[in-house]
Structure 1
Amino acid sequence: MGKTKPLGLLAVAALGYLAERPMHPYEMYQLALHRQEDRVVKVSPGSLYRAVYGLEADGLVLASGTDREGARPERTTFEITDLGRHLLGERLRELLSTPTNEYPELGLALSEAHELGAEEVRMLLETRILRQQAELADLDRRMTWALERGIPRVYWINVPYSAAMLRAEITHLESLLAEIADGALAWHVPGTRAPLHEQAATPPVSAQPTPST
Structure 2
Amino acid sequence: MAKRKISNTLALAVLGLLQEREMHPYEMAATLRERHKDGSFKINSGSLYDTVEALLKHGWIEAVEVTRDGRRPERTVYAPTALGQAEFVRWIDELVRVPAAEYPKFLAAVAYLGALGPRGAADALDERAGHLEARIAETADILPSIGLPRLFMIEVEFALHALRAELEWTRTTAAEIRDGTLAWPGKGAA
Shift of 1:18: 1.1
- Indicate yes or no: 2:40 matched with 1:40: yes
- Indicate yes or no: 2:183 matched with 1:186: yes
- Indicate yes or no: 2:159 matched with 1:159: no
Shift of 1:191: 7.1
- Indicate yes or no: 2:169 matched with 1:169: no
Indicate if the aligned counterparts of 2:6 and 2:54 stay in contact, CA closer than 8 A: no
Shift of 1:71: 3.4
More helix by proportion, 1 or 2? Answer: 2
AA matched with 1:99 = P
Q: 1:129 to 1:118 in 2, by over 3 A?
A: same
- Unmatched 5+ residue regions in structure 2? none
Shift of 1:6: 5.2
Q: What are the equivalent positions in structure 2 for 1:1-213 lying under 5 Å apart?
A: 5=5, 7-146=7-146, 149=147, 151-190=148-187
Q: 1:169 to 1:62 in 2, by over 3 A?
A: same
Shift of 1:34: 2.2
Indicate if the aligned counterparts of 1:115 and 1:189 stay in contact, CA closer than 8 A: no
Shift of 1:20: 1.6
Partners of 1:79 and 1:183 lie apart in 2 by: 59
AA matched with 1:126 = D
Partners of 1:121 and 1:71 lie apart in 2 by: 56
**Cα distance per residue 1:119-167 (max 9 Å; x no partner):** 1111111111111111111111112213xx4x21121111111111110
Q: Secondary structure at the match of 1:123?
A: helix
Partners of 2:70 and 2:125 lie apart in 1 by: 49
AA matched with 2:68 = R
Pairs aligned (count): 187
Worse-superposed segment, 170-179 or 16-25: 16-25
**Cα distance per residue 1:151-209 (max 9 Å; x no partner):** 211211111111111100000111101100100011144579xxxxxxxxxxxxxxxxx
Worse-superposed segment, 87-96 or 7-16: 7-16
**Cα distance per residue 1:43-95 (max 9 Å; x no partner):** 21210111001110111111111222343322111111000000111000000
Q: 1:185 to 1:46 in 2, by over 3 A?
A: same
RMSD of Structure 2 on Structure 1 (CA):
1.8
So what's the TM-score if we normalise by structure 1?
0.82
AA matched with 2:91 = R
Partners of 1:127 and 1:69 lie apart in 2 by: 48
**Cα distance per residue 1:92-124 (max 9 Å; x no partner):** 000011111211111111111111211111111
Q: Secondary structure at the match of 1:63?
A: strand
Indicate if the aligned counterparts of 2:128 and 2:170 stay in contact, CA closer than 8 A: no
Equivalent pairs: percent with the same residue?
36
